[in-house]
Amino acid sequence: MLEELFKPRSVAVIGASDRPGSLGRGLALNVLSSFKGPVYLVNVRGGVVLGRNVYKRLSDVPGTVDLALIITPSSSVPEVLEDCGRVGVRSAIVYSGGFSEAGRGDLEEEVVRIARRYGIRLLGPNSVGVVDTETPLNATFVSTERQLMPLKGGVSLISQSGALGSLILDLMGERLVGLRRFASIGNASDIEMWELVELLTLDAKTEVIGLYLESVKEGRRLLGALRRASTVKPVIVLVGGLSEAGSKAASTHVAALTTKARVLDGALSQARVIRVGSLGEFVSVLEVLGRVKVRPKGDRIVVVTNTGGMGVLLSDSIERRGLRLAGLPEELISKLRSVIPGYMALGNPLDLSGAAPTSLYRRVVEELLSSKVVDILVVVNQPQTVAMDVDSFVEYAKYLGDSGIPVVILVSGSGYSRDLALKLRLSGLPVAFSPEEASIMVLALLRLANLSRGERGAEVTVPDEAVTTARKLVRGALEEGRLTLGEHEAKSVLRAYNIEIPRYELALECREAIDIAEKLGYPVVLKIVSPRMLHRSDIGGVVMGLRDPGTVASECSKLLELSRKADIPLTGILVEEHVEHVAEIAVGALRDKLLGPTVMVGLGGYMVELLEEVAFRLAPLTLEEAVEMIKETRIWKLVDGYRGVKLEPVKLAETIARVGKIVEQVEEIEEIDVNPLALTKEGKLVALDAKIKLNPH
Amino acid sequence: MLEELFKPRSVAVIGASDRPGSLGRGLALNVLSSFKGPVYLVNVRGGVVLGRNVYKRLSDVPGTVDLALIITPSSSVPEVLEDCGRVGVRSAIVYSGGFSEAGRGDLEEEVVRIARRYGIRLLGPNSVGVVDTETPLNATFVSTERQLMPLKGGVSLISQSGALGSLILDLMGERLVGLRRFASIGNASDIEMWELVELLTLDAKTEVIGLYLESVKEGRRLLGALRRASTVKPVIVLVGGLSEAGSKAASTHVAALTTKARVLDGALSQARVIRVGSLGEFVSVLEVLGRVKVRPKGDRIVVVTNTGGMGVLLSDSIERRGLRLAGLPEELISKLRSVIPGYMALGNPLDLSGAAPTSLYRRVVEELLSSKVVDILVVVNQPQTVAMDVDSFVEYAKYLGDSGIPVVILVSGSGYSRDLALKLRLSGLPVAFSPEEASIMVLALLRLANLSRGERGAEVTVPDEAVTTARKLVRGALEEGRLTLGEHEAKSVLRAYNIEIPRYELALECREAIDIAEKLGYPVVLKIVSPRMLHRSDIGGVVMGLRDPGTVASECSKLLELSRKADIPLTGILVEEHVEHVAEIAVGALRDKLLGPTVMVGLGGYMVELLEEVAFRLAPLTLEEAVEMIKETRIWKLVDGYRGVKLEPVKLAETIARVGKIVEQVEEIEEIDVNPLALTKEGKLVALDAKIKLNPH
């Protein structure tokens, strides 16, 4: 059915108009000039549009209509849709605005009700339309005088903003990036993003999918669809409008750090899409992945340039994206010496100087390729000196496109360079117009090579009885009317899920505290346990490093006194072994309103909110996914060793995945905050503190 | 004398050639077609070039030569320069390559020696030349067929990379950004960047200075020149090629965190220049500051758009740069209601929808301006629907440029939009071609408004006797052959400079330690003091939270045992009061090889290297400058309050400035590492630990 949106046998344009500048005229014009099947123009006023007779009602149309394009005033759309239903139309696009985006959610609901009643699948309202270059069909109202329509190709685009979508088509057109299909989903009242993603995943002619997202409906479904799509073709996503501050009044670290943007970031990484940060990057990546069919076999990037400064800026930009230029082996250097004048420095970037003719590029590139030391080649050509024989370079460039490795050309400047870029694109090469564009192209190629590498990987296993233990503790608390677990209870949940915790016992009075301390061995830590305290250390409710019974006794009394003064109901005093450690991490989980169970990892223990070095993923997650989370933060630096200890990433990944399991399996748990999770001198990870918040339902 | 580079009365082109494609021909062509005074062509081969007679030697030239342009093979340059000296030339530009950049530093030195002997000021070698649009003079060899030369205007440009410089001119030309002067400094063997900055500072016709830097010679002089320049006109700086990892083997935190890029970053901020991150940003900022003469009076940014999606992406990009869109007052909203159809949402960005004609833009902008709620206006116009009456908009845009506040237009797309952009630029408006360009333009306007606001501010004062105390301690250590101060000595230095330290005393045996502890009050901290230990806490040389004499005795014995086992020469055991605190900061200083005394501030105490939340400045620095350092890091979040304590920024600024004073005044000090600097529960800053490394000289 969705296929009919792009490949109908017949089309009706309802609201077709002859008024210059009207959208109804623009749409009719585009459809008539692109579509080869029957097109019926409909308008209550009748008459003639673009030299064709107009039917007053859809029921007057002589043939069957596969796809109805509705571009009438919003108030008339319900009636038009009823007409569609009555004559058996199964697919419709509503272009008209004036629905939920303009405060008329009621009208939109009415339209959807009618569509559902007749079994019509509906794109929009407030859509700019669809394009299919194969059918061919241009069912948009975009003015082709003002914006380009791309040639036929392999990139499909779905946009949540119509105008931005048509701008992207315009930019693709300028860059000669070929289009397969385009859809503007408008208000997505019926047909949603995830369905179109699934359609394009199955569409063999779609080689690359590009998505512009502004909000996420049916989040888990969309992310599932994206993950499936990205196992078979590159998916590039640009997200707009999600910047938003974290909730200030949040009671746990994880809640304070959770923002829509962060959770969606994590979820999109997990779906293995290529995320870009700007419109410019989006179009650059569509160009490079739409044009370059060969994938890099490794990450050795080499730059050949005729402009030292551009080589420098490109190298900077590549490093800012977390990549590095490859070193050139000695053997290659000596080979290059026979090609490059002796006084020139040889390195990467390989600077051939402004006087370099095409023949020098050719000889250097041949050496590089035959030495098999390059996985991605970036060729900078600034045609500024007349020494640069541009025509031969364009001729040579065709060969570069077939060299067996991905090649990106960087050309920058005004008209002359722009013309050169066009010629190179006609030769099938991706052209970057700035160092930043070249580096995002390189990054996308490398990301793609990594993404297409493997399976999702294994999830962590947890003991069968873990969930039973956790549920029992949780239900006990809920029965007592509590919405938090005590620290000792929270730690018992962690222990059940095989997360290491310090040895501890709960004392109800100070004499007992001393006995426990003697049993655990000194030094010990004392902590107030109360159902009513969250940031306990802030008020002095934790005392560390107690080395003998006398100190335990006196500090214990002080804590009792403190809780009396602060009028905090006391569950008891936790007596815990002291755990020496070199770094503090935070792991958390919560149920995101939009995307459900979500896990977080962050650096800095109690400083985690200050540092905001955090990463999110949806739960459940695999160990590989958890390792990727860690890589997104500076926690990864602990893997190289810090203060004599090396973090084993898989150990932390296991902890994250286990915390994810808890929130996945125990639905009464709303938030988990394991903080600090200490990295000990022995390289172990121990949960020194834990909070669990419950949801009453 | 430097003035003659740009405004000579007569010019000789030595190495002028008629060979097509040669640089000697390109240079001669550019000079002859731009310069109105006498031009003499010189070439040992004689003959005719571009229809003019060529002199074989400079001495054959009939008139005096103000400026010699030397474009002969590098090996002949010394002889040519001798000729110049003999006929009394005072200024020369050497275009030829093949000097220090190609491993021939000897040849370059010879050339400089000759120049100095004759009192010739020399630009280059390896320069692309200079341009002065007022003289006029185009003394570059850049092909005007391939790259544009900007029109006359107020922007002057100095570039360390010639080819990049000419590319920037090309891009300025395309964007109609007017040029005043251009200089490519090449290898800067004689005339250096700072001298040209001073020249352009004094040049009344230079309204904006743009600089492309790859390395820093005479760093303090350059930064001084930049600071003076930026008090009178905007200075925009792009730095290339400074990415570099910190030294791994560094013994102090500050040394490990010091990189060329970070120090230069800090120094450039201190010089109050506008730093940009890419070539694209550089040209965008040149455009906006070159074109917009009015400065914003506040930071209220308002966006008016006809494309919702572009508004969203622009708003995202503005937020990513640390800015925010202004809220619109209720009163204005109700006024706008009379202009904007009732069903449309009103906010910032103000989305007028794709159907908005110029008249709607006009009415909305009039309301915004008359309400005086806007300091910077960004107008997005995507001309995608035919409803957008582009000609009237261009007409209207002229008025926008005179509206009394800075206005930036955002237009994106292929040919049609590019033509619109050109028309808008001809109307004097700055045009951004992507949301990122628009947001950097806005940021530059705001930065400029802030930068031009004030004086450097006051330095911190330190007690007169501080330097005497510090020098005495330092010389004492050096006389004993030590290259570090003991912790107690380092802390004495800090105390002399009025930086707060905990109360402590040095014990030579454990009985004494108990006496000191009793005097200080419990809990106390014990620390090994030794000239040979740097990361002491990593080996357990620090014990905290000791609460009674028994524990002090036993822990003290353990420390003695530890130092015996580790074979560490022991100065004594430091007994120190325990300081409760909520956050840890690091402050440091060192002598940078390039830029001299430098200070650092960072977040995270012992984690500072992990976090890399650091900022650098040159010492001495003012309190205002130190406050700006803090703002560059997440330490600033402590100012809003953290765990019940608010950091007073000026207190931290004082500490930073005092540490800067120490390294400035005591030249034997190589590095200072105050870490952790604790933020106490009372909001005080106390140096819990300090290391000072000395330089033997």
Percent of chain B with pLDDT over 70: 96
Candidate from B217-221, B385-389, B579-583 with smallest mean pLDDT: B385-389
Secondary structure (3-state) at B527: strand
Question: Residue A403: what are its φ and ψ, rounded to 5°?
Answer: -80, 0
CA A31 to chain CA centroid, Å, is: 34
Considering only residues 229 to 288 of chain A, which have any Cβ-Cβ distance to chain B shorter than 8 Å?
240-243, 278-280
Are B289 and B441 within 8 A, CB to CB?
no
Secondary structure (3-state) at B382: coil
A 10 A CB-CB count for A47 gives: 13
Secondary structure (3-state) at A591: strand
User: Is the Cβ pair B643, A535 closer than 8 Å?
Assistant: yes
Q: What is the mean pLDDT of chain A?
A: 92
Q: Is A143 on the interface with B (CB under 8 A)?
A: yes
- Band of the pLDDT at A644, cuts 50, 70, 90? confident
Q: 């009464």: which residue's tokens?
A: A668
Does residue A178 register a pLDDT over 80? yes
Mean pLDDT of A439-462: 83
Q: How far is A539 from chain B (nearest CA, A)?
A: 9
Asked whether the domain spanning A142-292 has the same topology as the one spanning A1-128, the reply is yes
Q: For the range A555-558, what are the long-range contacts, defined as Cβ-Cβ under 8 Å and sequence gap of 24 or more? A: A555/A526, A555/B547, A556/A507, A556/A510, A556/A513, A556/A514, A556/A526, A557/A510
Considering only residues 206 to 225 of chain B, which have any Cβ-Cβ distance to chain A shorter than 8 Å?
212, 214
Query: What does CATH list as the number for B470-577?
Result: 3.30.1490.20
Q: Hey, which bits of B448-595 come out as E strands? A: 484-485, 504-507, 524-529, 542-546, 572-577, 581-592
For residue B243, which of A434, A327, A317, A377 has the smallest C-alpha distance?
A: A317
DSSP category for residue A148: -
User: Is the Cβ pair B146, A386 closer than 8 Å?
Assistant: yes
Candidate from A520-534, B296-310, B518-532 with smallest mean pLDDT: A520-534
For residue A438, which of A558, A285, A580, A552 has the smallest C-alpha distance?
A: A285
pLDDT in tens, B409-465: 999 999 999 999 999 999 999 999 999 999 999 999 999 887 655 566 788 999 999
Candidate from B166-175, B221-230, B388-397 with smallest mean pLDDT: B388-397
Q: How far is A634 from chain B (nearest CA, A)?
A: 7
Considering CB atoms only, which of A104, A161, A548 is closest to B309?
A161
For residue A591, which of A156, A150, A263 has the smallest C-alpha distance?
A: A263
Percent of chain B with pLDDT over 90: 77
- Band of the pLDDT at A493, cuts 50, 70, 90? very high
Considering CB atoms only, which of A166, A415, A535 is closest to B384?
A166
* B352-378: b (≥16 Cβ within 10 Å) or e: bbbebebebbbebbebbbeeebbbbbb
CATH 3.40.50.2300 fits A503-577, yes or no: no
Q: What is each CA distance from B39 to B28, B35, B94, B181, in whole angstroms?
A: 9, 8, 17, 20
* CATH architecture type of domain A581-694: 2-Layer Sandwich (3.30)
Q: Hey, which bits of A129-199 come out as E strands? A: 129-132, 137-140, 152-159, 179-184
H or E stretch including B228? Answer: helix B219-232
Domain boundaries, chain B: 1-126, 142-292, 296-451, 470-577, 581-694
Q: Is A347 on the interface with B (CB under 8 A)?
A: no
Q: How far is A50 from chain B (nearest CA, A)?
A: 17
A437: closest chain B residue by CA:
B280
Mean pLDDT of B9-19: 96
Return the pLDDT at A678. 96
Are B292 and B430 within 8 A, CB to CB?
yes
Query: What does CATH list as the number for B1-126?
Result: 3.40.50.720
- Band of the pLDDT at B243, cuts 50, 70, 90? low
Return the pLDDT at B248. 43
Are A573 and A527 within 8 A, CB to CB?
yes
Does residue B697 register a pLDDT over 90? no
Secondary structure (3-state) at B152: strand
B20: closest chain A residue by CA:
A386
For residue B177, which of B149, B202, B204, B205 has the smallest C-alpha distance?
A: B149
Contacts of B324 in chain A (CB under 8 A): none
Quote the CA–CA distance of A656 and A614 in Å, as a whole number.
12
Q: How far is B265 from chain A (nearest CA, A)?
A: 15
User: Is the Cβ pair A240, B642 closer than 8 Å?
Assistant: no
Quote the CA–CA distance of B562 and B132 in Å, as a whole number.
72
CA B427 to chain CA centroid, Å, is: 32
Contacts of A313 in chain B (CB under 8 A): 164, 240-241, 278-279
User: Is the Cβ pair A167, B634 closer than 8 Å?
Assistant: no
Return the pLDDT at A247. 41
Q: Hey, which bits of A160-313 come out as E strands? A: 179-184, 208-213, 235-239, 274-276, 301-305
ipTM for the predicted complex comes to 0.92
Q: 């009621």: which residue's tokens?
A: A106
Mean pLDDT of B547-556: 89
Q: Which residue has the higher pLDDT, A202 or A218?
A: A202
Q: 């402050």: which residue's tokens?
A: B587
Listing from the earlier edge strand, what are the strands of the sheet with B39-42?
Answer: B39-42, B11-14, B67-70, B91-94, B121-123
Q: How far is B281 from chain A (nearest CA, A)?
A: 11
Are A299 and A375 within 8 A, CB to CB?
yes
Are A54 and A16 within 8 A, CB to CB?
yes
Candidate from A295-299, B75-79, B449-453, B603-607 with smallest mean pLDDT: B449-453
Q: What is the mean pLDDT of chain B?
A: 92
Does residue B245 register a pLDDT over 70? no
Does residue A342 register a pLDDT over 80? no
Quote the CA–CA distance of B674 and B655 in Å, as a whole number.
10
Return the pLDDT at B247. 41
Q: CATH number for the B296-451 domain, one of 3.40.50.720, 3.40.50.261, 3.50.50.60, 3.40.50.970?
A: 3.40.50.261
Q: How far is A276 from chain B (nearest CA, A)?
A: 12
pLDDT in tens, A550-606: 889 989 999 998 888 878 888 899 999 999 898 999 999 999 988 999 999 999 887
Q: How far is A141 from chain B (nearest CA, A)?
A: 8
Contacts of B307 in chain A (CB under 8 A): 161, 163-164, 167
Does residue A105 register a pLDDT over 80? yes
Considering only residues 426 to 485 of chain A, which have any Cβ-Cβ distance to chain B shorter than 8 Å?
434-436
Considering CB atoms only, which of A353, A416, A546 is closest to B146?
A416
A25: closest chain B residue by CA:
B386
Percent of chain A with pLDDT over 70: 96
Considering CB atoms only, which of A170, A240, A548 is closest to B312?
A240
* CATH architecture type of domain A1-128: 3-Layer(aba) Sandwich (3.40)
Q: What is each CA distance from A310 to A315, A368, A459, B180, in whole angstroms?
A: 8, 20, 45, 24
**Strand pairing class (A67-70; A11-14):** parallel
User: Is the Cβ pair A240, B313 closer than 8 Å?
Assistant: yes
- Band of the pLDDT at A387, cuts 50, 70, 90? confident
pTM of the model: 0.93
Q: Is A163 on the interface with B (CB under 8 A)?
A: yes
For residue B1, which of B92, B70, B130 has the smallest C-alpha distance?
A: B92
Quote the CA–CA distance of B185 and A160 in Å, as a whole number.
49
- Mean pLDDT is highest, among A434-443, B101-110, B634-643, for A434-443
pLDDT in tens, B41-77: 999 999 999 999 999 999 999 999 999 999 999 999 9
pLDDT in tens, B333-351: 888 988 887 667 788 999 9
Q: Is B316 on the interface with A (CB under 8 A)?
A: yes
Q: What is each CA distance from B591 to A516, B302, B433, B669, B694, in whole angstroms?
A: 53, 45, 43, 8, 11
Considering CB atoms only, which of A163, A316, A413 is closest to B307?
A163
Q: CATH number for the B142-292 domain, one of 3.30.300.20, 3.40.190.150, 3.90.1170.50, 3.40.50.261?
A: 3.40.50.261
